[in-house]
Structure 1
Amino acid sequence: MKIVICAVPYSPNLGDGVIYENIKQLLLERVPGAQVSALDIAGRDDYVKAGISKKSLVNKVPKLLRPYAVCTYFSLQYLLRWRRKWLAQLADADLIVVGGGQLLLDVHLNFPVKLFLLSKAVKAAGKSGKVAVFGVGVSKSMSSAGTGLIKRTWQNLAPLQASTRDIASAQNLKLILAQPLEIKVTPDPGIYSQHTFAAFLPPRTTGNVLGICISSPLELNQAGVEKQDYSARIGKYFQELAQQATTLGYRVHLFTNGSPEDEAFKDALAAGLDPEIVNLPRPGVPSQLVANIGQCDCIIAHRLHANIVAYALDIPSIGLNWDSKVQSFFELTGRGRFFMQAPVPDVTRTFKLLYQALQVDGSGEKVRLTQQLTTEIAALLERSGLAGKTSAPEPNQAGRAAAAAA
């Protein structure tokens, strides 16, 4: 039995890898022996050291020309490199899972083009109708060209089941497709991280470690909503946060989710801080990101999956505002009061909120959401006809097993 998970699992932002590893784990627990593989719709083949981000290259193109540049680049990549490889991977797939993550997002047509190209490969491989769209995030804002591409993508995929990771995304997807759909809401697979990454988690100690997840202002202010001095203001916030934390007795760890822009900003900030503040190296794989967060007793973060992993590990977190998906997650988990609305929060208020978060036990809600997630995975397999099936071992595996038994 073969299942292919299509998203951006090998993105330098390792939150996407966390999603992939959790979906894979959830599937393998229910269909032992299945061959589960990743198809990265950005053409990556593995977790590799992050280099120059294509975002920075795209931003050098005049704004009006960026969608055309994105379409041209990815269409050529598909025709010259990806199509043959993707068709070979999809040819014998019993199920194709598209998700999770914020895949239905339109920044210069980036994801609409990638998803459309994937759908062409799915259709060419004869796998339309053997697709589940699972736990995706859907942006409210979508260009007319992006909307057209998503509609054509949906026709090519002909999903047998669809779910989003929050209510707002479900509503946005219905608006984009402009058709009646049964869309379920499934908690982000990242909440299963305590199970998936159990072997990589450090022993829990009460060391009063505060993890501050640093994010680049270039990423946080993609839409250009904030003023030009936003970079200086958010940088000052992070520095004052770290300095005051040490004064309050915290041991501070600076970390990122892996984005090269975030890493560069973190290193620049760390250079101006006390040496006792730990600047963690970039995590190379999702398990390292989870382990970095697992060292902390509490965290403060903009990045969605830093907050989700912390939640999965029962580590209190404060969510910082930059995208509605972060607020949606805090509301979904019944922790909306620990999300800070201000684009650049007040440092003193941040610590007051952190103190309150440390007093709250949210494990009961996590149990309910985890049950909801596992139920949705089971329903997906039932709908696809794979529930309860196991894959026979390959001949060489069977031979080795027999030899070992003898």
Structure 2
Amino acid sequence: MHCFDKLYKKTKPYLKKIKRKITPKSQVKVLLLTNRDSDNVGDQVIEATDISLISTVMKNLGLHRWEYEIISKAVSFVSQGYLKNRNPKLLEPAEKAIRNCDIVVFGGAPMFNYMYQNFYERTAVTIEIAQKYQKPVFFSAIGLEHYDEQNKKCQRLKKALNLDCVKMITTRDDFEMLQKYKEKESLYIDKVADPAVHTCTVFRKFWIQKKPGRKKKIGIFILREGGFTDNKIPFSKEEAIAFWTKVVEIVKQRGYDYEILTSGHFSDEAFVDRLVREYGFPLSKCVFNMNTPEYLISKIADCDGVISCRLHPSIISFSLDVPSVGIMWNAKVKGFYDSIGYGNRVFDVIQEKPEELVDRLELAMKEGIQKDETYLMSIYQSLFTVMKEQIKKNSNASPYPYRKLVSKMVCFKGTSRGEKEEKIKRKFRRVYAKYNKVADSNRKCENNGGDK
């Protein structure tokens, strides 16, 4: 693969020149914005499934592959540097990308988050650029945070969302919350499925067949230190460690194999490392270096049941027909399980005991999973409707029925060596930034005569 990567790099400039010559001027350019540069591999699954859904919409509308282009970028193309000093030079890449596209699609991810992340400001700035260049904006299956009439950040976002260029907002989370963001009558809003419910189709090449005769395996996806308390759940690091220790003990007692996993966030992996180094969790049962979507999916496909804090291992498990129980740390977990008709497969760490968690998972494994095709179709139908309005308003095309949609969806090709290296580099740089922050804090403490 290495020689092919080198060959591609050498020929890429020439391929671009050829493409410019054969690409029709009327080619539809879709700018897809996701959280694709996140360590959390669930966000990379969102990107891949969004690309497949949009490609299928184009096919459904009768467009050939050369008649459209999906330009996938991270929402962080509105840079942290720009947010700090508002230097317009730093906004030029975002301006250029939006100016040169026909449609802007925000795909999944927590684009509205303002409580302890700055997604809201990046989103607002992006909308304002789209408004400047009169580009239609669609939000598809967005994650929501608490709406606050008194919070300036929340209201800043709300104002941007009601600009003329924003045509659609759908959410995978709380529809009643989304309604509070809407002011203009023409804005289409709805509740839809997360794109990752189509993981089983888009990533079908990466399923692992379970070995016959082996022990049933439970995948246990944990959450970083502070994940509960940051979301106002009074469940400390010490309580979390005791909880996971007990869960593993019960799983082993009941005759299951198990793995401790994360969906890739470095802070989650750091917590797993602490469990190994300080609390005796066996290294052989802990999975590190979760950096690509196909690796995450292969690991979940190899499980018979899943326990997860993070949302996307639960969604991917659902798609792969692996029963799961979601641990409540954020309202979106309960929202997802309610959406799929399994609200009883959610666990409360404050009110319930580890034994009840494993009991609930065993019951889910016995009952299996039933899927509602109307729910699965919801995200595709919403994208089809608004994109048809923009691209082929007078077309007689109607959305593919579910079975045809599944047969037409584009399969994920895999992560290239270069892409994987870039993902790992980003992850390490985040770790370095965290280390530098801690080191600076320690030096400051020393200079003030305090302890390290």
- Relative to the length of structure 1, the TM-score reads 0.80
Match of 2:166 in 1: 159
Match of 2:75 in 1: 41
Q: Distance in 2 between matches of 1:263 and 1:109?
A: 20
State which of 245, 258, 263 in structure 2 corresponds to 1:257. Answer: 263
State which of 325, 334, 351 in structure 1 corresponds to 2:332. Answer: 325
Relative distance call for 1:337 and 1:225 in structure 2 (3 A) is closer
Match of 2:145 in 1: 139
Match of 2:424 in 1: none
Distance apart, 1:322 and its partner CA? 0.5
State which of 296, 307, 315 in structure 2 corresponds to 1:289. Answer: 296
Relative distance call for 1:283 and 1:163 in structure 2 (3 A) is same
Match of 2:410 in 1: none
Letter in 2 for 1:202: I
State which of 211, 217, 220 in structure 2 corresponds to 1:209. Answer: 217
Gaps of 5+ in 2: 1-27, 60-64, 398-452
| C-alpha RMSD of the superposition | 2.5
Match of 1:120 in 2: 128
State which of 158, 174, 180 in structure 1 corresponds to 2:179. Answer: 174
Match of 2:405 in 1: none
Q: Look up the SS of the partner of 1:249 in the other structure.
A: coil
Distance apart, 1:7 and its partner CA? 2.7
Letter in 2 for 1:350: L
Q: Look up the SS of the partner of 1:342 in the other structure.
A: coil
- Deviations, residues 324-352 of structure 1 (Å, cap 9, x unaligned): 10001000100011111233741111111
Q: Distance in 2 between matches of 1:317 and 1:222?
A: 24
Number of residue pairs matched?
356
Alignment of 1:100 with 2:134, yes or no, is no
Relative distance call for 1:255 and 1:249 in structure 2 (3 A) is same
Relative distance call for 1:182 and 1:8 in structure 2 (3 A) is same
Relative distance call for 1:13 and 1:77 in structure 2 (3 A) is farther
Relative distance call for 1:179 and 1:172 in structure 2 (3 A) is farther
Distance apart, 1:305 and its partner CA? 0.4
Alignment of 1:315 with 2:315, yes or no, is no
Letter in 2 for 1:91: R
- Deviations, residues 7-39 of structure 1 (Å, cap 9, x unaligned): 312111121111111110111123252321222
Q: Which has the higher mean CA deviation after the structures are superposed, 249-258 or 139-148? A: 139-148
Alignment of 1:90 with 2:124, yes or no, is no
Aligned 8 A contact 1:318 1:338 in 2 = yes
Match of 2:356 in 1: 349
Q: Distance in 2 between matches of 1:147 and 1:276?
A: 43
Letter in 2 for 1:218: G
Q: Distance in 2 between matches of 1:133 and 1:185?
A: 11
Distance apart, 1:274 and its partner CA? 5.1
Match of 1:56 in 2: none
Q: Distance in 2 between matches of 1:225 and 1:247?
A: 29
Alignment of 1:79 with 2:80, yes or no, is no
- Relative to the length of structure 2, the TM-score reads 0.73
Q: Look up the SS of the partner of 2:367 in the other structure.
A: coil
Q: Distance in 1 between matches of 2:162 and 2:87?
A: 19
Relative distance call for 1:37 and 1:363 in structure 2 (3 A) is farther
Match of 1:372 in 2: 378
Alignment of 1:199 with 2:199, yes or no, is no
Alignment of 1:21 with 2:48, yes or no, is yes
Q: Distance in 2 between matches of 1:290 and 1:243?
A: 25
Gaps of 5+ in 1: 46-69, 390-406
What is the aligned-residue identity percentage?
Answer: 18
Distance apart, 1:247 and its partner CA? 2.3
Distance apart, 1:156 and its partner CA? 4.2
